[in-house]
Amino acid sequence: MSGLDARLIASFGFAIAFDVLLPVVLVLVARRRLGFAWKTVGIGALAFTLSQLLTRVPAVQVLQYLLRDVLEDSTPLFQLWLVVISLSAGLFEETARLIAFKYPLKAFRRWRDAVGFGLGHGGLESAVLVGGLAAIGLVNVVVLTRMDPSTLSLPPAQLEQILAAKAQVASLRWWEPLLGAYERVGAMVLHVGMSVLVLQRFLRGQRRWYWAAVGFHSLANLATVLVARSVGNVAAEGVLTVFALGVVWFTLRLRDEDASDVPRPAP
C-alpha cells in the first residue's frame, strides 16, 4: 500500500471501531445501572431510523443535489440552507421522540427510560450512519491514494474532480479521523439529554419542553457546522463539547427520584 500513511489508516480503523462499539458499551453499562427496558433502546433506534435514515437524510440529499448550482453561486442562500438543515434535524428528531413517548413508550416515562431511548437513538446513528460513513471514507482514502489519474480515460471535468479528491486526501492529517470518534461522545450525550428534555413535555404537561429541545438541538447543530466551516474541525469539536457539558448539567438536574434506585434490568 505504497503512499498510504499507516497512522491515517490506523486512526480510521480506530474511529470505525469506536463508532460501533461505543453505543454497545454505553447501553450495556447504563442498563445494568439504571434498569431501563430493552424496549426503550429499540424504540429509540427505530425513531432514528424513521426520522433520519428513511426520511430526513434522503430528502436533504435530494434537495441539496437539486439546489447545488444555486447554493454554489450564492453565499447568503448557502448560509440559509445550513440554518434550514440544522432546524430540520431538530424538528425531525425531537418530533420522533415526542411521538415515541406519546404512543409506544406511554408506559415508559421515567428519567431512566429517556436515557435508554437516547442511547438507542444515538447508538444507531453512531454505529450505522457515522460508522458507515467513516468506513466509506477509509475506502476512499485507500482507492484515491493508489489511483493514477493519468491512466484513466475520463472527461476533463471528472479528472478534475478526482485530482481535487486526491489533494483533499493528501492534506488529511493522520489524527483527523479521531475527531469523528470524539464527536460521538458529545453526540451521544446530546441524544440522551434531548430525550430527557422531550420527556418533560409529558411529565410537566408543558409544550415548551419539546420546543426547547428543538431549539437546543438545532442551535447545537448550526453552531458546530458554522464553526467547522469558518475556523476548523478542532474548534467545532470544542463548541460541541460546550453544548454537551450544558446537556450533562440539565440532564442531571432533571433526574427524577426513581433514578436513584438500582433495579434489576427490565425485560
Q: pLDDT digits over 15-53, tens only?
A: 999 999 999 999 999 999 999 999 999 999 999 999 999
In degrees to the nearest 10, what's the CA dihedral of 83, 227, 192, 89? 20
Residue 77, pLDDT above cutoff 70 = yes
- Angle 186-192-198 from CA coordinates, rounded to 5°: 130
Per-residue model confidence (pLDDT) at position 151: 84
Cell 442498563: give the residue: 31
**Cα 262 → chain centroid:** 29
Per-residue model confidence (pLDDT) at position 142: 93
| 170-176 LR contacts (CB < 8 Å, sep 24+) | 170/145, 172/8, 172/141, 173/8, 174/5, 174/7, 174/8, 174/10, 174/11, 175/7, 175/11, 176/11, 176/233
Rg, Å, the chain Cα set: 20
Give the start-to-end residue ranges of the domains of the chain: 6-256
Q: pLDDT digits over 137-152, tens only?
A: 999 999 999 888 878 8
- Residues 110 and 196: beta-carbon distance below 8 Å: no
- Name the more confident of 257 and 154: 154
**Cα 177 → chain centroid:** 15
Alpha helices in 103-207 (DSSP H): 111-124, 131-146, 156-170, 176-203
Q: Is 3 helix (H, G, I), strand (E, B) or coil?
A: coil
Give dist(CA 137, CA 169) in Å, integer: 10
Q: pLDDT digits over 146-185, tens only?
A: 888 878 878 888 888 888 999 999 999 999 999 999 999 9
Per-residue model confidence (pLDDT) at position 1: 45
Residue 263, pLDDT above cutoff 70 = no
State pTM to two decimals: 0.92
End-to-end CA distance of the chain: 48
